[in-house]
Copies of this chain bind each other. A is one copy, B any other.
Amino acid sequence: MSSSEQPAASHRFDPNFTKNVIEGMGPNTTPRNRQVLGALIRHIHDFAREVELTVDEWMEGVKFVNALGEIYHNSNKTRNETHRICDVLGLESLVDEIAHKIISEGELDPTSSSILGPFWSPNAPFRELGGEIFQDGVPPNGRVTKMHGVVRDIITGKPIPGAVVDIWQASANGKYDFQDPQNQTPNNLRGKFRADEKGEYHFYCLHPTAYSLPTDGPSWQLLSLMDRHPMRPAHIHIMVTHPEFQGCTTQLYPSDDQWVKSDTVFAVKDDLVVDFKPFDDGKAVLELEYNINLAPKGYKGKV
């Protein structure tokens, strides 16, 4: 930053302070820790000088951080408001993009990644192609959807037989099985499907339902300070894997959802917004076709 771009008041402060803190790191700091912690210190200091952070505001911040860990503790480590604060500030979505974004050198881009979120389970069962994930039956206001598509290689355009499509979603009440033990058995609305020899998968799920983040903790306090709503648009989570390809963890959003343009965790990307179409096969009332594109392992794409 040139001196003309310095915030007006910053020269009132010791110009060597931040340098001294960063250079306080000793010779045995690993290069990565030096890089990450050095940048963290620089940005924290620049932030404080730029807004002329007051002592009271800083103390509010200290109290806020302590409240995050207290909720985690008091919930027996099930309620991770720290994770949720990162989501509300866009950090999880950004870190996900940094980790996974590949811009293809060919015509087919890999399907965009999106955040994993806190509700994935390693225990979802394999189900037969064409099966249902609503193992507890269809809830009263559930709309059965036939979801299908092809998993393809971005380089060759060819299908990827054997790719595993792991899906999970909230029920029509906006709750995942973990959160709703009185209404849902474990693994309800979860399942893994193995694509056939044509790389095709198909199964029955529900049209997803929008839901609110909790409105009684620090993340809600932060959202309120920012005059923001706590809603996530309706979404279906998918995680697609194959031993020879880079996996893709993402979420699909109905294009007509009222929150799709203002997701409170900033996880929507253009190629993840989809149309559910009217359908009737005697079982489903909607159809969702979604093809998934994977990059081979080791493929870096354009930088």
Contacts and interface: CB of A to CB of B under 8 A. Distances in A.
Interface in A1-54: 1, 5, 8-9, 12-14, 17-18, 20-21, 24-29, 33, 35-37, 39-41, 43-54
Majority SS at the chain A contact face: helix
A101 B13 CA distance: 8
Given A17-B266, A55-B95, A37 B68 contact: no
A20 B73 contact: no
A11 to B, nearest CB: 9
B28 A227 contact: yes
Given A28-B227, A45-B91, A98-B13, A50 B58 contact: no
Contacts of A153: none
A50 B103 CA distance: 19
A90 to B, nearest CB: 4
Interface of A: 1, 5, 8-9, 12-14, 17-18, 20-21, 24-29, 33, 35-37, 39-41, 43-55, 57-58, 62, 65-74, 80, 82-83, 86, 89-99, 101, 103, 225-228, 262, 266, 302-303
